[in-house]
C-alpha cells in the first residue's frame, strides 16, 4: 500500500510503473495487474504492458468516496481511461 498520499498536483495524473510497484508490492507486470483487479481498481495496460491508473481512480476505488469535480458535480474525473486502449 502507498505509504503517503500523492501531492495535490499529482491528482489526475497517471501512476508510473514505480508507483504501481510501490502500491501493489508486485515486482512484475502480471502481479501488479492481478493486485489492481483483485482490489477493484480500474486500470489500463500501457504500451510497455505495465498497468496504470490515476491517483483519482485509485483513491475512489479504495475510499469508496465519489469525489467532486471542480464544477461540483459527482463522478467523471475528466480522464477517459478507455480512450487509452485504442
User: pLDDT per residue over 13-25, tens digit each?
Assistant: 789 999 999 989 9
**Residue 45 near residue 84, CB atoms below 8 Å:** no
**75 domain residue, yes or no:** no
- In this predicted structure, what is the pLDDT of residue 38? 92
**62 domain residue, yes or no:** yes
**41 domain residue, yes or no:** yes
- In this predicted structure, what is the pLDDT of residue 73? 55
Question: Within 10 Å of residue 36's Cβ, how many Cβ atoms?
Answer: 23
**Residue 58 near residue 32, CB atoms below 8 Å:** no
- In this predicted structure, what is the pLDDT of residue 29? 95
- 62, pLDDT greater than 60: yes
Question: Within 10 Å of residue 21's Cβ, how many Cβ atoms?
Answer: 17
Range of the domain at 32: 14-70+80-85
Burial of 28 (0-12, 13-18, 19+ CB in 10 A): exposed
- 45, pLDDT greater than 60: yes
DSSP letter for 26, please.
Answer: -
Confidence of residue 31 (pLDDT cuts 50, 70, 90): very high
- In this predicted structure, what is the pLDDT of residue 60? 82
Number of domain units in the chain:
1
**59 domain residue, yes or no:** yes
Q: What is the pTM of this model?
A: 0.62
**52 domain residue, yes or no:** yes
Sign of the Cα torsion 45, 50, 62, 37 reads: positive
Amino acid at each position: 500500500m502507498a505509504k503517503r498520499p500523492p501531492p495535490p498536483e499529482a491528482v489526475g495524473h497517471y501512476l508510473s510503473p514505480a508507483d504501481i510497484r510501490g502500491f501493489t508490492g508486485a515486482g512484475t507486470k502480471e502481479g501488479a495487474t492481478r493486485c489492481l483487479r483483485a482490489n477493484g481498481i480500474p486500470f489500463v495496460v500501457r504500451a510497455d504492458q505495465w498497468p496504470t491508473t490515476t491517483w483519482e481512480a485509485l483513491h475512489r476505488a479504495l475510499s469508496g468516496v465519489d469525489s467532486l469535480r471542480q464544477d461540483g458535480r459527482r463522478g467523471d474525473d475528466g480522464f477517459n481511461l478507455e480512450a487509452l486502449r485504442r
